[in-house]
Amino acid sequence: MTDVNEKAGVSKSLFDIDGNPDIKRAFPIALQHLLAMIVGNTLPAIVLTGQLANTPHAISATDAVYLIQAGMFIAAIATFLQLYPVIKVGAKLPVIMGVSFAYIPVLTSIGIKYGIGAVYGAQLVGGVVAFIVGMNIKRIYKYFPPMVSGTVVLTIGLSLYSVALNYMAGGNGNPNQGDLVYWGVAFLTLAVTLICNMFGKGLIKLAAILIGIAVGYIASVFFGIVNFQNVGQAAWFTLPRLMPFKLEFPVDAVITMSVMFVVNSIQAVGDLSSTTAGGLGRVPTGDELEGGIKANGLASVIGSFIGGLPTATYSQNVGIVSLTKVVARKVFAITAALILVSGFMPKFGAVMLSVPQAVIGGATITVFAQITMSGMKLIMSDEMSSRNLTIVGLGIALGMGIVQLGDQALAQFPEWFKMVFTSSPVVLATLVVFVLNIVLPKKTLAEEEAERNAMDD
């Protein structure tokens, strides 16, 4: 039912994209969206800084806290841009943006080899590539059917499992890694997350990961494995910093990141389509898809200058839209404002950074599992002909297999090749399925069955 302000003639409905519902009705749903995204938005920065620890490119505790803050800044900026487009940059759809897990394998491989400056330099170029993809999305989308994009998502999920399990054991570089206290806390976090997700309802189900981390954190305090030093030293308020890190542009890092931005742009089409289908009962227009991808590219470019990692549409928030049917942009603007406020508070980032890696591992293993199964679901939505099974199988086999090889097996290849194709399984898997899908002749299940019948005859 549409609620309309009689004097102004303005809809006050939660279910009208241009509705202006009162704060009492809008705030609870805005809070749901915040709870759904806030952990995912902070964890990529935590994982990246954790992977860089004990390497020549490790960053200071202060900079690690700032990465979390910058992630909140850029999530808010990107969300506002999607809600209220500027010069056709933005989808004008009810979506929440945030720092993406999908980039973690590439971010860590670049960071470990070249340092944090190369991460942001490659991100800058990748954001420009995404903007260009957005301008041409209507022409190139046909080359990325669900089978191709699903293989990429599946490979991303598989590549993150070792990260989560190392975290559950206490984290790489931890002299006490493997102690039972870390495994115990990790499985406690995992158990609470699963219980809340499977048996909880409403906000409890929605905030399952957040509740799991909270319980794991309390247990970690009890076992004495939490370091509060950075929390005490962190300021209460700060502003975004311009160019917190010197940008660097290694060619292999730029190529690798650019490929990921192209893939992520195609994935954004799926999220935007799910949003319009679930919340508005229609498919997105070409202008909405173009504006949404261009906004994501621009946000990532801005992020490279203030220290925010690459952004993406958040599927969990798309799920809330489909469930509640609430599409009023005012609700999402409230969420974006709450995200922005968190970005001004270093204490928030310091608290998140004080969470032991075992707790992070116990919580993120479920996220990585969901990413993997989402990829599998995408693949299965396409026709599983022998041709398609071969393409998917080869992509995963070559992508996952090449990162397992020792140094000697790849010693004859140039450094740029190893960086682009062996630092993360995602790039090689993407290229394999993309090229094979174009080169190999299309055959449906019916055509393959007809071929078999012809051989019998």
Q: What is the DSSP string of 142-191?
A: GG--HHHHHHHHHHHHHHHHHHHHHHHTT-TT-TTTT-HHHHHHHHHHHH
Mean local confidence (pLDDT), 369-380? 77
Whether 377 shows a pLDDT value over 90: the answer reads no
Beta strands in 297-435 (DSSP E): 311-313
Domain assignment present for 422: no
* Number of domains within the chain: 1
Domain assignment present for 4: no
Domain assignment present for 301: yes
Using the structure block, give the residue that is written with the tokens 């740029």: 416
Domain assignment present for 449: no
Find the helix packing angle between 251-275 and 104-114, rounded to 10°. 160
Whether 81 shows a pLDDT value over 90: the answer reads yes
* Helices vs strands, H then E, count in the chain: 20, 4
Find the helix packing angle between 23-52 and 146-168, rounded to 10°. 70
Domain assignment present for 185: yes
- State pLDDT tens for residues 388-431: 888 888 988 988 888 787 777 877 777 767 666 776 677 788 88
Token output for 249: 């542009």
Mean local confidence (pLDDT), 173-178? 74
Whether 172 shows a pLDDT value over 80: the answer reads no
Q: Answer with the residue of higher pLDDT: 400 or 444.
A: 400
The domain containing residue 346 runs over which residues? 12-383
Using the structure block, give the residue that is written with the tokens 């062996």: 422
Confidence of residue 127 (pLDDT cuts 50, 70, 90): very high
Domain assignment present for 156: yes
Report whether 442 contacts 391 (CB < 8 A): no
Q: Give CA–CA dist 307/119, Å, rounded.
A: 10
The H or E element that residue 11 is part of is strand 10-11
Domain assignment present for 399: no
Domain assignment present for 448: no
- State pLDDT tens for residues 25-48: 788 778 767 766 777 788 788 888
Report whether 279 contacts 233 (CB < 8 A): no
Tell me, what DSSP letter sits at residue 446?
H
Token output for 422: 């062996």
Q: Answer with the residue of higher pLDDT: 374 or 394.
A: 394
Report whether 79 contacts 330 (CB < 8 A): no
Report whether 222 contacts 92 (CB < 8 A): no
Query: Mean pLDDT in the chain?
Result: 81
The H or E element that residue 5 is part of is strand 4-5
